[in-house]
Structure 1
Amino acid sequence: MARGDLALAVACDMPFLNPALLGFMLTLAQAGYDVVVPQVNDLLERCTRSIGRPAVRRLSNAICWRVTGA
């Protein structure tokens, strides 16, 4: 669990991460975007994202609802 207000999530098999891109994603998240996902042409890179704490709560609630139906 992230200790701060933002989390940066990447897949474990991504050896060529671009630090400038990751910093830019965190800058956008700090500017108020709940979730930042890179896009290359028409494809979203779902294995890299920054997530703000409010979005984490909503996503967690949605996942729990989907799994338990409650």
Structure 2
Amino acid sequence: MSEFRVVAFNDLRSEDAVVADILNRVCGLPLADAVALTRQIEVDGKATVGLAATRADAEVIAARMLGFGLRPVIERNRA
């Protein structure tokens, strides 16, 4: 089970195509999933974009996203 999740929030600055590309390349999500999550971020204001077994693994995902200008948050996975 994944203990931690990486959540991306709508920053109102990043273009949808850029966010989808980052989720695809950085988080390793299939392009269709990256596009769907980008839409969820736009509509709901946030979406879980990565799951990790350890906090260190979640921090790697978050650091990669930070490198592209996104501001993810790491949360303990409750579900």
Class of the TM-score when normalised by the shorter of the 2 chains? 0.3 to 0.5
> TM-score, with normalisation over the residues of structure 1?
0.34
The structure with higher relative contact order (CA 8 Å, sep 6+) is 2
> TM-score, with normalisation over the residues of structure 2?
0.32
Which has more radius of gyration?
1
